Amino acid sequence: MEKLSERDKKHLWHPLTQHKTHPEMLAISRAEGVMLYDEDGKGYVDGISSWYTCMYGHCNPYILEKVSAQMQRLDQVVFSGFTHEPAVKLSEALIGILPQNQQKLFFSDNGSTATEIGIKMALQYHFNKGQKRNVLLAFEEGFHGDTFGAMSVSGLSVYNGPFEDFFIEVERIPVPTSENIDELLATLRSRLEDNTIAGFIYEPLVQGAAAMKMHDAEGLEQILALLKEHGVLTIADEVMTGFGKTGKHFASDHLKTQPDIICLSKALTAGLVPMGLTTCSQEVYQAFYSDEITKGLFHGHTYTANPLACTAALAAVELLQTDEIQENIQNIIQWHKAFDAEIKDHPKVARTRQLGVIYALDLNVETERYGNLRDQLFNHFMGQGVFLRPLGNTIYILAPYVISKTQMQQIYSAVKAALEIV
């Protein structure tokens, strides 16, 4: 019988792939806990939680049980004009853990649409108030998704090149550092005088697609406070950072100034089914609450608030708050610190960084984001039974919260071995 990996080539077009140079796809037949298994039965430790989604492990029995039961009662229903228990219960659970100013939830179906809606909220908020603010502010090297608004505010040209002539108006600022913060704030004060900036979208503390680049909370705090003084809506893209990865429920919890809007996806449903969520303050919502129908947010997806996705998300939120998961998060943080002490001075390591369960190191070598060295490293890790996806010369780890110390040591050993082949 022809293998899945061969049948795949006939019709499938994979994301982030140049198929002429990378025609081979590994067929994964099943997953359990921290492990992925290919069609030949070989196992791989999922060191990046399948793009930061399966934080409670693959096929988590608690989540599967909840979703299976929901599947017998209500699978899908339009969310315009109807509501249902999974959505209501999820909203109540999320409001209990989100930053305190968040009061309203708008559902979609992935991270890009979650940020797309956040952008639209910011622009229409000012439009509804009769203010002409049509510029968005974003960090350099930020990444917020693949749809047009999300691409517009993203700063990675490898994704955006062919489409840049079609983008909405965006201005970029560098992430704050102790060296640039005073100049950055001065520039912003001058720029804010004409009141044309509608919103600022940012990945709080960790820029995921930019190779897990990290910036300090103090500088970001000053930027957010200044923008709020000038009526600019702040949009925290927590699609990657949300639900415990930074050591707190949300990266925004490391800051005093709360965002007006938060974008969520990925670990929201624990990797079981797709869903996006854009939350906002009551003040933002009030700008859309009107007798004029045109002031409403006319954005909708067919699978908005799908009952199965809401059930998975509710189960994930419940797991996040358990003592076991919180203890596991702290264990991973300590394991990373010990590994960092062991490896940070290696001659092949240029720099390291960590926030919560996110750990990254930069190799002391220049390479393209999707170059040959990256491919060699990826193949090395898979050969060691570890699934990691290097970004250029950056190797990062973001494993599920349920990983054992032995499994994490397997990842560390694979990384140490990689330094010998660079």
The mean pLDDT of 195-213, rounded to a whole number, is: 97
pLDDT-based confidence at 157, cuts 50/70/90? Answer: low
Nearest CA to 90 among 311, 262, 321? 311
pLDDT, residue 234, reads: 98
Specify the CATH class of 74-320 in words. alpha beta
Q: pTM score, two decimals?
A: 0.96
pLDDT, residue 370, reads: 61
| Burial degree of 368 (CB within 10 A; 0-12, 13-18, 19+) | exposed
pLDDT-based confidence at 67, cuts 50/70/90? Answer: very high
Q: For residue range 377-413, what is the model confidence (pLDDT) as tens digits?
A: 999 999 999 999 999 899 999 999 999 999 999 999 9
pLDDT: is 134 or 167 the higher one?
Answer: 134
Provide the CA 406 distance to its chain's centre, in angstroms.
27
Q: Which of 5-9, 12-16, 201-205 has the highest mean pLDDT?
A: 201-205
In angstroms, the Cα distances linking 49 to 142, 168, 318, 352, 397 are 21, 33, 19, 20, 9
Beta-sheet pairing, 233-237 with 261-264: parallel
pLDDT-based confidence at 139, cuts 50/70/90? Answer: very high
Burial 322-331 (b: 16+ CB within 10 A, else e): eeebeebbeb
Provide the CA 93 distance to its chain's centre, in angstroms.
20
pLDDT-based confidence at 369, cuts 50/70/90? Answer: low
Is the per-residue pLDDT at 355 higher than 70? yes
Taking the CA of residue 211 as centre, how many other CA atoms within 13 Å lie in the half-sphere pointing to its CB?
A: 17
Contacts of 62 (CB under 8 A, 6+ apart): 56, 315, 318, 319
Give CA–CA dist 11/384, Å, rounded: 30
Q: For residue range 23-59, what is the model confidence (pLDDT) as tens digits?
A: 999 999 999 999 999 999 999 999 999 999 999 999 9
243: left (phi over 0), alpha (psi -120 to 50) or beta: left
pLDDT-based confidence at 164, cuts 50/70/90? Answer: confident
pLDDT-based confidence at 204, cuts 50/70/90? Answer: very high
Between 111-125, 127-141, 157-171, the lowest mean confidence (pLDDT) is in: 157-171
Rounded (5°) CA angle 386-346-367: 65
pLDDT, residue 130, reads: 96
Specify the CATH class of 4-60+323-418 in words. alpha beta
pLDDT-based confidence at 304, cuts 50/70/90? Answer: very high
Strand residue runs (E) in 131-232: 135-139, 170-173, 197-202, 206-207, 213-214
73: left (phi over 0), alpha (psi -120 to 50) or beta: alpha
Phi and psi torsions of 3, nearest 5°: -70, 155
List the chain domain ranges: 4-60+323-418, 74-320
Between 15-19, 200-204, 334-338, the lowest mean confidence (pLDDT) is in: 15-19
Give CA–CA dist 153/150, Å, rounded: 6
Burial 3-38 (b: 16+ CB within 10 A, else e): eeeeeeeeeeeeeeeeeeeeeeeeebeebebbbbeb
pLDDT-based confidence at 16, cuts 50/70/90? Answer: confident
Adjacent-strand bridge partners of 214:
206
Between 81-85, 126-130, 159-163, 326-330, the lowest mean confidence (pLDDT) is in: 159-163
